[in-house]
Amino acid sequence: MSKPVPIPLEDAQARLLQLAGPLPVERVDVEGAIGRYLAEPIAARRTQPAADLSAMDGYAVAADDLAGPWQVVGESAAGHPFGGRLAAGQAVRIATGAIVPADAQAIILQEDIARQGDSLRLTGDPPVPPHKHIRPMGVDFAVGGQVLAAGVKLGPAQGALAISAGHKHVPVRAMPKVAVIDSGDELAAEPDCCAPHQIPASNGAMLAAMARTLPCRVTRIGPVADTMEALAAALDAARDADVVVTSGGASVGDHDLIKPALAAWGAEIDFWRVAIKPGKPILVATREQAGRRQIVLGLPGNPVSSHVTAYFFMLPLLRTLLGAARPLPLRFRVRLAAPIKANGARREFPRGTWDGEAVLPHSLQDSAALAALSASNVLIDRPAHAPRAEAGEEVHAFLLENGGLA
């Protein structure tokens, strides 16, 4: 049987995300929902500001009474408005954020006023236009208007907006349950007790940590031995997960048992092998169980390949389940700080360090080179058959530190 032809990255991502149905909606208090994505748009339940407010400290006067002199008849402070009305020749001392009194349409800055007792005279320039220092009612948002769209990630600013708009709770998707399984006879569970024929089992910790950058419930299983019995037990332990992520065992060697283990578990492979480097032997499968779909990502065992494929597949999948409007990472353009060689028939993602102005590709690009990966903050995007690029040329890159800007 011939091997499947590797498919392009964007095609593979689209196929994966089409498999992901939305998780149920739940209502969570705003502070507890930070980091999650809105399941529905939310509208303002109040107007902000609810009245005209002063944007500066000074004196409120009528718009047709900007020359003075004036007599101070009261004060308006934040939370303590002036209750009367203004007549010609009158002014109210006003603080930033305080309600502008009725009949006042201008704020004269305190540094443009000379005050003696309750008498005021103008020493500077009046505001032009008169309402320059007034925040009009509803300038931020008005009751009934949409303030946040579905799929928006709730960060600190969005949370503050939701609260200001009158919301104590917001609708979000349930947090996905993720099971991370790393397999291989060479893996040692204890990094400080590692025989020469072993390597520490770092992939499971890495992938679990990546998943936890999103609001997920993550369980680690393993390391698991390269036997059908051990893999069957691991998959059974993951039976309640929405997403099962495996590391290792998805290639073509005699000991790569993920595919037959998944078949025995009742999962069907959707696609296998993507035309990228590192990370070609990625596998995507699904399992229908009690009316729900579980998605399996079989990632390569080499740590850099595992990290890169998790970045391009696991994180977008989890964002989709969480309801993100833009689940895929965003590219940006950056200059090269050093030349980068031509590459082959697959799209390549060399690791590099970006200093805010230019990116320096690392000299070691081996798919097992964790030190180079840990020193990188970008993936450089090199199309298939890309020619050598010189220092100063622009290339596309993906920012590793935040996994995309969605």
d(CA 406, CA 151): 9
Judgement on whether residues 188 and 259 belong to the same structural domain of the protein: yes
| Residue 117 DSSP code | T
Query: pLDDT at residue 191 above 60?
Result: yes
| pLDDT higher than 60, residue 253 | no
Do 36 and 126 fall within a single domain? no
The pLDDT assigned to 403 comes to: 42
Query: What was the pLDDT predicted at 251?
Result: 55
Contact in structure between 37 and 325 (CB atoms under 8 Å)? yes
**Mean pLDDT to the nearest integer, 379-383:** 96
Q: Are residues 40 and 122 in the same domain?
A: no
The answer to whether position 194 is within a domain reads yes
Mean pLDDT for the stretch of residues 160-166:
97
For tokens 């748009």, the residue is 41
142 located within any domain: no
Residue 169 confidence (pLDDT) above 70: yes
Q: What is the CATH number of the domain that holds 385?
A: 2.40.340.10
Indicate whether 143 belongs to any domain: no
- What is the radius of gyration, based on Cα positions, of the chain? 30
pLDDT value for 187: 80
Q: What is the CATH number of the domain that holds 61?
A: 2.170.190.11
pLDDT tier at 183, thresholds 50, 70, 90 = confident
Task: Tell me if 149 is assigned to some domain.
Answer: no
Structural domain contains residue 222? yes
The pLDDT of residue 2 is 57
Report the pLDDT value the prediction gives residue 402, as an integer from 0 to 100. 44
pLDDT of residue 406: 36
- Regarding whether 163 and 41 lie in a shared domain, the answer is yes
Q: How confident is the model at residue 273 (pLDDT cuts 50, 70, 90)?
A: very high
Strand partners, 108: 59
The predicted-structure confidence for 289-321, as pLDDT tens digits, reads as follows 888 899 999 999 899 999 999 999 999 999 999
The answer to whether 225 and 185 are in contact (CB under 8 A) is: yes
Q: Give tens-digit pLDDT for 6-56.
A: 999 999 999 999 999 889 999 999 999 999 999 999 999 999 999 999 999
| C-alpha to C-alpha distances, 212 to 200, 206, 209, 217, 287, nearest whole angstrom | 21, 10, 5, 8, 23
Please give the mean pLDDT across all residues of the chain.
Answer: 91
Residue scoring higher pLDDT (98 or 184): 98
The reported pLDDT for the residue numbered 405 is: 36
What is this structure's pTM? 0.89
pLDDT of residue 177: 98
Spatial distance between the Cα atoms of 143 and 171, rounded to a whole number of angstroms: 19
The answer on pLDDT for 4 being more than 80 is no
Judged against a pLDDT cut of 90, whether residue 63 lies above it is answered with: no
- Are 160 and 210 members of one domain? no
**What's the confidence (pLDDT) of residue 342?**
93
CB atoms within 10 A of CB 270: 16
Looking at 135, 165, 200, the residue that finishes a domain is 135
Cα angle value 375/376/381 (rounded, 5°): 160
Indicate the range of 132-146, 251-265, 271-285, 311-325 predicted with least confidence.
251-265
At residue 50, the 3 state secondary structure works out as coil
CATH of the domain at 211: 3.40.980.10
Q: Which long-range contacts (CB under 8 A, 24 or more apart) does 69-72 make?
A: 69/119, 69/120, 69/121, 69/122, 70/119, 70/120, 70/121, 71/118, 71/119, 71/120, 72/115, 72/118, 72/119, 72/120
The answer to whether residues 308 and 354 belong to one domain is no
Query: What is the predicted pLDDT for the residue at 255?
Result: 46
* Overall average pLDDT of the 78-92 stretch: 92
How much of the chain, in percent, has pLDDT values that exceed 90?
Answer: 76
What's the domain count of the chain? Answer: 4
- Where among 143, 173, 203 does a domain terminate? 173
| 78 shares a domain with 41 | no
Out of 264, 288, 321, pick the residue that ends a domain.
321
Rounded-to-integer distance, Cα 162 and Cα 150, Å: 13
pLDDT of residue 200: 74
Long-range contacts of 46-49 (CB under 8 A, 24+ apart): 46/143, 46/165, 46/166, 47/137, 47/138, 47/141, 47/142, 47/143, 48/138, 48/140, 48/141, 48/164, 48/165, 49/135, 49/136, 49/137, 49/138, 49/139, 49/140
Confidence label for 185 from pLDDT (cuts 50, 70 and 90): confident
My answer on whether 17 and 43 are in the same domain is no
Residues 239 and 165 in one domain: no
The pLDDT value recorded for residue 250 is 58
The beta-strand segments (E) located in 225-357 are: 243-247, 268-272, 276-277, 283-289, 292-299, 331-336, 347-348, 351-354
150 lies in a domain? no
Residues 127 and 244 in one domain: no
Q: Indicate whether 107 and 181 sit together in one domain.
A: no
Does residue 208 lie within any of the structural domains? Answer: yes
2 domain-assigned = no
307 and 356 assigned to the same domain: no
How many angstroms separate the CA atoms of 295 and 241, rounded? 9
pLDDT tens digits along 93-126: 999 999 999 899 999 999 999 999 999 999 988 8
- Domain with 305 in it: 9-24+174-321
Window from 193-197, 248-252, 257-261, 288-292 with minimum mean pLDDT: 248-252
Nearest to 55 by CA among 121, 108, 129: 108
Cα–Cα distance, 66 to 84 (Å, whole number): 20
Weakest mean pLDDT among 23-32, 46-55, 130-139, 360-369: 360-369
